[in-house]
Structure 1
Amino acid sequence: MKRIFIISLLALSITFNSCVQKNYLFSYFNNNGQDGLHLAYSNDGFKWTALKNDKSFLTPTVSKDKLMRDPCIIKGRDGLFHMVWTVSWKDKGIGYASSKDLITWSEQQFIPVMAKEEGARNTWAPEITYDNKTKTYLIYWATTIIGRFPETASKADDGYNHRIYYVTTKDFKTFSETKLLYNPGFNIIDATIVKDKNRFIMFLKDETREPDQKNLKIAYSDNLIGPYSKASEKITGNYWAEGPTVLKIKKDWLVYFDKYREHKYGAIQSSDLVNWTDVSAQISVPKGIRHGTILPIKKRELKKLLKVN
Structure 2
Amino acid sequence: MKRLSYLFGLFLLLSSCSKEVFLFTSFHEPANEGLRFLSSNDGYHWTDLNRTFLKPEIGNQKVMRDPSIAQGKDGTFHLVWTSSWKDDKGFGYTSSKDLIHWSEERFIPVMEHEPTTVNVWAPELFYDHTTDRFVIIWASTIPNRFERGVEEEKNNHRMYFTTTKDFRTFAPTQLFLDPKFSVIDAVIVKRKTADYVLVLKDNTRPERNLKVAFGPNATGPFTGVSPPFTKKFTEGPSVVKVGKDWLIYFDSYQNKTYDAVRTRDFRTFTAISDQIAVPEGHKHGTIFKVKKRILNELVNSK
CA–CA separation in structure 1 for the residues paired with 2:262 and 2:142: 34
1:125/1:142 contact within 8 Å kept: yes
**Separation of aligned partners in 1, 2:180 and 2:291:** 40
Alignment partner for residue 88 of structure 1, among 81, 84, 88? 84
Q: 1:188 aligns with which of 166, 175, 183?
A: 183
Task: Provide the residue aligned with 1:163 in structure 2.
Answer: 158
Contact 2:138/2:161, CA 8 A, preserved across alignment: yes
Of 202, 205, 223, the residue aligned with 1:206 is 202
Q: Is the 8 A contact 1:42 1:49 kept in 2?
A: yes
Residue equivalent to 1:76: 72
TM-score (norm 1): 0.89
2:31, 2:64 within 8 Å by CA — same for their partners in 1? yes
The number of residue pairs the alignment matches comes to 285
Q: Which amino acid counterpart does residue 39 of structure 1 have in structure 2? A: F
Between the aligned partners of 1:21 and 1:216, the Cα distance in structure 2 is: 33
* TM-score w.r.t. length of structure 2: 0.91
Indicate conservation of the 8 Å contact 1:153/1:159, yes or no: no
Counterpart amino acid of residue 32 in structure 2: Q
Aligned letter for 1:70?
D
Q: Which residue of 2 aligns with 1:301?
A: 294
1:267 match: 260
Query: How far is 1:20 from its partner?
Result: 5.4
1:139 aligns with 2:132: no
Aligned match of 1:225: 219
How far apart are the structure 2 equivalents of 1:144 and 1:128? 20
Contact 2:151–2:204 under 8 Å retained in 1: no
Q: How does 1:1-309 map to 2 (within 5 A)?
A: 22-51=20-49, 54-90=50-86, 91-149=88-146, 151-156=147-152, 159-198=154-193, 199-209=195-205, 212-236=206-230, 238-309=231-302
**Aligned letter for 1:171?**
D
Query: Hey, what's the Cα distance between the residues in 1 that align with 2:243 and 2:47?
Result: 22
Report if aligned partners of 1:22, 1:44 keep a CA contact under 8 Å in 2: no
Residue 292 of structure 1 aligns to a residue whose secondary structure is coil
Contact 2:18–2:41 (Cα < 8 Å) also in 1: no
- Alpha-carbon offset, residue 21 of structure 1: 5.6
> Are the equivalent residues in 2 in contact too, given 1:21–1:43 (CA < 8 A)?
no
Distance (whole Å) between structure 2 residues aligned to residue 56 and residue 235 of structure 1: 33
Map Cα deviations across residues 4-34 of structure 1 (whole Å, 9 max, x no partner): xxxxxxxxxxxxxx76564100101101211
How far apart, in 1, do the equivalents of 2:295 and 2:18 lie?
15
- Runs of 4+ residues deviating >3 angstroms: 18-22, 153-156
Distance across 1 between alignment mates of 2:301 and 2:116: 43
Could you tell me how far apart the structure 2 residues matched to 1:22 and 1:113 are?
34
Question: Once the 2 structures are TM-superposed, how far is the Cα of residue 233 of structure 1 from its aligned partner?
Answer: 1.0
SS in 1 for 2:286: strand
Name stretches of at least 5 consecutive residues in structure 2 with no aligned partner. Answer: 1-15
Distance 1:225 1:298 in 2: 29
For structure 1, list consecutive stretches of 5 or more residues without a partner in the other structure: 1-17
Bigger Cα displacement from structure 2, 224-233 vs 33-42: 224-233
In 2, are the aligned partners of 1:154 and 1:161 still within 8 Å (CA)?
no
Q: For the Cα contact (< 8 Å) 2:25–2:285, is it kept in 1?
A: yes
SS of residue matched to 1:47: coil
Change (3 A) 1:63 1:159: closer
- Which residue of structure 1 lines up, in the alignment, with residue 11 of structure 2? none
Conserved 8 A contact 2:76-2:96? yes
Distance 2:59 2:173 in 1: 20
CA-CA distance at 1:308 after TM superposition:
2.4
